[in-house]
Structure 1
Amino acid sequence: MTRNRLNMLIAVLAMVVVALAGFFVGVQPHLAQAATDRDEQTSVDATNQTTAAELARLQERAKSLPALKAELAKLTASVPSSASMSSFYGSVDDVAARTGVKVSAITTSDAVAYTSPAAAAPATEDSTATDDPTATASAGPSAAATTATTDPSISGENFSAIPVSVSVDGSFDQALSFIGGLQDGARLFLVNTVTSSASQDSTDESATASTTWTFGGYVYVLTTDADTAAKG
């Protein structure tokens, strides 16, 4: 091999070495960075799509926000966070004035803490032998016990019932209109007893007998976490 050829081969090898060194030193890090950027861009795009979908969902839900606020206000008025009996008395007077009855008495008792209802006990059949052909028919059903479903967030710590008794004087139709109007009012009033009594004025036998209608039931109080925190 001539000296010129040897020099040329060395020069070519040097150029290859320089090219490879330039690739690994200058180009390859940029290619790796570009690949990393593409992966990050893909992740960012996926995050943006998820965020956009969530934003669209929230915007759609926001359209129903006024209706939800109105419903919340209605429910809060129905079962307030404090006894607020003065407002209940006011509603009783308002309904009485509209329906023509006279309120003769309103009584309330101390609030009773809520107690979660226990599951109903399963009915059992009488296993005692008998010749009575009606015994089987009169035995209780062997159905499984009914399980009461309650909300775990409702307890005796935050929910209570206030016994209330309202007596009014008036006709049957007036009393019916009164209790219907009271139960349609803002405050929830659950009636569980109704009694009536008639009285005659002993000094005027021709006078129409007056009927007193007494409605017994409960109004309710639900204290929220926010109310508890505010009091604390």
Structure 2
Amino acid sequence: MDRNRVWVLGAVVLIGVTLVLGWLVGISPNLTAASVANADRGAVEEQNKAAGLQLVELKKQFESIGDLKKDLTAIREAVPSGPEIPAFLSQLDTLSRQNEVTLTDFSVGDAEPYAPEGAAPVAAATPSDASTPAPTAAPADGTAAPAADPATAAGATVVGAALPVAPPGITANNFVAVPITVSVEGNYSKLLDFTDGLQTGKRLALVTSIETTTVSPEISTAKITAYVYVLLNPATATPTPAG
């Protein structure tokens, strides 16, 4: 009887040891691996969910790609990747005919790196009978008269601000200002309409000054100085003369 008890106790101990070893060697590592795999699956499901939402958003944006291309076309007409002076001259010719004025002269200066800090003030046209500034009267106390402001000479009156501040990404390396001078002749009010159309046309232009001269009661001339702009492509982002 005692021998049977010993065998029973030994069998129970052996079974217990076997169960412990089976848990430690087989079951526990598998449970841990299953837990890790389940956590990884949850993370992947979350990533897939986020990717699905992003895909839906991209599909919505792609549906409006036609409008974006139209906007890009309009922007590139306003600020092309090169001077494109012949196309701009065609715009000026159309604008002069629409406003019943005559384009008498046009010139282009060398391209300049964009620098909003050094912009010239904008001037409004005022009629005058001569292209030279009027003399300035000396003060009554005998001190020297102040020097005339070149910006207000020859029929130009300063009224405006500096060149616009460029958004991020626009630098002197890729954004170029091309100075132009346009001379037109016609009725004074038509000259002002022409100037307004120059600043609101397809090509982005900033008028910096206007000099007007009265030729007759019905005819005036205007010399308009302005900037047109060029946004260079990344591969060619080096300011070059307008040509």
TM-score normalized by structure 2?
0.66
Q: Secondary structure at the match of 1:161?
A: strand
Counterpart Cα distance in 2 of 1:161 and 1:15: 90
Counterpart Cα distance in 2 of 1:36 and 1:209: 90
Tell me the residue number matched to 1:155: 171
Tell me the residue number matched to 1:6: 6
Report if aligned partners of 2:174, 2:233 keep a CA contact under 8 Å in 1. Answer: yes
Could you list the per-position Cα deviations for residues 115-166 of structure 1 after superposition, in whole angstroms to 9, with x for gaps in the alignment? Answer: 3517xxxxxxxxxxxxxxxxxxxxxxxxxxxxx9765643333333222121
- One-letter identity of the residue aligned with 2:20: L
Tell me the residue number matched to 2:192: 176
Tell me the residue number matched to 2:145: none
Q: Secondary structure at the match of 2:117?
A: coil
Say if 1:17 and 1:86 are closer, same or farther in 2 by CA, change over 3 A. Answer: same
Counterpart Cα distance in 2 of 1:2 and 1:162: 113
- One-letter identity of the residue aligned with 2:237: T
Could you list the per-position Cα deviations for residues 175-231 of structure 1 after superposition, in whole angstroms to 9, with x for gaps in the alignment? Answer: 23322333222111211222233446xxxxxxx8643222221112222424439xx
2:221 matches 1:212: yes
Could you list the per-position Cα deviations for residues 18-76 of structure 1 after superposition, in whole angstroms to 9, with x for gaps in the alignment? Answer: 33333333322321221111221222223223323433443444455444433333222
Tell me the residue number matched to 2:81: 81
Q: Secondary structure at the match of 1:34?
A: helix
Q: Secondary structure at the match of 2:69?
A: helix
Report if aligned partners of 1:116, 1:155 keep a CA contact under 8 Å in 2. Answer: no
Counterpart Cα distance in 2 of 1:227 and 1:93: 30
- 1:225 equivalent among 229, 234, 239: 234
Q: Mean Cα displacement is larger for which, 190-199 or 88-97?
A: 190-199
- One-letter identity of the residue aligned with 1:194: I
Tell me the residue number matched to 2:109: 109
Counterpart Cα distance in 2 of 1:109 and 1:47: 56
Q: Which runs of 5+ in 1 are unaligned?
A: 119-147, 201-207
Counterpart Cα distance in 2 of 1:218 and 1:195: 16
Tell me the residue number matched to 1:194: 210
- One-letter identity of the residue aligned with 1:162: V
Q: Which runs of 5+ in 2 are unaligned?
A: 119-163, 239-243
CA root-mean-square deviation: 2.9
Counterpart Cα distance in 1 of 2:225 and 2:197: 15
Tell me the residue number matched to 2:181: 165
Counterpart Cα distance in 2 of 1:6 and 1:156: 96
Tell me which stretches of 4 or more aligned residues in structure 1 moved more than 6 Å: none
Q: Secondary structure at the match of 1:81?
A: coil
Counterpart Cα distance in 2 of 1:16 and 1:218: 93
Q: Secondary structure at the match of 2:237?
A: helix
Report if aligned partners of 2:187, 2:218 keep a CA contact under 8 Å in 1. Answer: no
Tell me the residue number matched to 2:39: 39
- Give how far 1:91 is off: 0.5
Q: Secondary structure at the match of 2:223?
A: strand
Counterpart Cα distance in 2 of 1:209 and 1:12: 123
- One-letter identity of the residue aligned with 2:192: L
Tell me the residue number matched to 2:26: 26
Report if aligned partners of 1:88, 1:187 keep a CA contact under 8 Å in 2. Answer: yes
- Share of identical aligned residues, percent? 30
Q: Secondary structure at the match of 1:117?
A: helix
